[in-house]
Amino acid sequence: MTVMTRASLKFGTAGALAVLLATTTLAGATASEAAVPAAAVVPAADTDASTISLKVATYNIHKSSSGPSWSGRRDDVRDTILGQDPDVLALEEATPNRIGGVRQYDDILDLIDNSTDYKYVEAAAYTSGTKLAYDSGRFSVSDSGTKILKKKGSQRRYAVWAILKDISSGKKFFAVATHLEPGGASSKLNSVRITQAKQIIALIKDNNNGYPVVILGDMNSSRSIKPYNGQYLAFTRAGYIDPLDNPKPNSAAGANAIAQTMVDVNFNSANKFHRNAPKAPASWKVGTNVDYIYVSSGVSVTRFQTVVDVDSDGQFIGTIPSDHNMLVATVRI
């Protein structure tokens, strides 16, 4: 596991500047991983009583109709999720396909509904494989909805959103789960994903009331895609922030990451079931992601993790749960 703790600069309430020295902590890292440098960030104080901390995640669990069998990896998907215990979880490819009479998205909800009472937002709505789950013991739903996005192929694409209220503090935030158009690189597909991103931006504007925002999903577009990463520019130009600062296909990516602590972020978010987990070159700070967590301005990210269970050689241990790795961020709102 590679853990990077970022330097921070923070202004106190009296306007004084406190400088915290940069440190890099590498737990069980290889020599190449230890070369990953640190950068600057502005974290929120953990003791700030006016904010709450929560863990958000996005995970493409891979559809049950192709690839390694769902029955052979469903327990590993469950263990991956419960190992992080997110408060809010976006799922992609949690499909309505039935296995033994049970829909895949119902099966995974039953599997993870253990110590945490997870529920789906818009549970009765058809949203294909895109689902937004939340800890109903901690949060209530103040408002919610779904939107059918523009598509190019035969399968509809969805955004599922909710305004979630922390039952204890009363604080609210806006969460969106989505899965943008697949298909790789082309000007047409890039254009569709840009339109889909703009539709999500518009639905937030139409339904939010100034609450902090987290956008979670498989965007099917990375910093290395051709002609360019259109969805990324759409979201960031609208003011949303990628905590990993991952826009460029070179070693400059991650230089301005706002995540205070970053764990295993040099691994790519898609692994394609390769035993040797794909990752960035040793001198790069962050991997190449098609999955994203965006946050609105003012949301601080105290921790960001790409969840991989690998040995010291970077090989997956045991069953590879999905062709994507789960992304998890601890945020303060």
pLDDT in tens, 263-280: 999 999 999 999 999 999
Task: Provide the CB-side half-sphere exposure for 38 (13 A, CA).
Answer: 21
Containing structural domain, residue 114: 51-332
Is 60 exceeded by the pLDDT of residue 17?
no
CATH of the domain at 321: 3.60.10.10
Check residue 48 and give its pLDDT: 66
In a domain, 200, yes or no: yes
In SS3 terms, the chain reads as CCEEECEEEEECCCCCEEEECCECCCCCCCCCHHHCCCCEECCCCCCCCCCCEEEEEEEECCCCCCCCCHHHHHHHHHHHHHHHCCCEEEEECCCCCEECCEEHHHHHHHHHCCCCCEEECCCCCCCCCCEEEEECCCEEEEEEEEEEECCCCCCCEEEEEEEEEECCCCCEEEEEEEECCCCCCCHHHHHHHHHHHHHHHHHHHHHCCCCCEEEEEECCCCCCCCCCCHHHHHHHHCCCECCCCCCCCCCCCCCCCCCCEEECCCECCECCCCCECCECCCCCCCCCCCEEEEECCCCEEEEEEECCCECCCCEECCCCCCCECCEEEEEEC
Q: Are 302 and 243 in contact (CB under 8 A)?
A: no
Those residues whose C-beta lies under 8 Å from the C-beta of residue 84, and which sit 6 or more positions away, are 55, 57, 305, 307, 326, 328
In a domain, 8, yes or no: no
Single pTM value for the model: 0.88
In a domain, 11, yes or no: no
pLDDT in tens, 134-161: 999 999 999 999 999 998 877 899 999 9
Q: Which two tokens stand for residue 82?
A: 């419960």
pLDDT in tens, 52-80: 999 999 999 999 999 999 999 999 999 99
Is 90 exceeded by the pLDDT of residue 304?
yes
6: confidence class by pLDDT, cuts 50, 70, 90:
low
Check residue 168 and give its pLDDT: 97
In a domain, 41, yes or no: no
Check residue 153 and give its pLDDT: 75
In a domain, 307, yes or no: yes
In a domain, 35, yes or no: no
In a domain, 26, yes or no: no
In a domain, 44, yes or no: no
pLDDT in tens, 166-194: 999 999 999 999 999 999 899 999 999 99
Quick one: what percent of the chain has pLDDT higher than 70? 86
Check residue 2 and give its pLDDT: 80
Domain count, the chain: 1
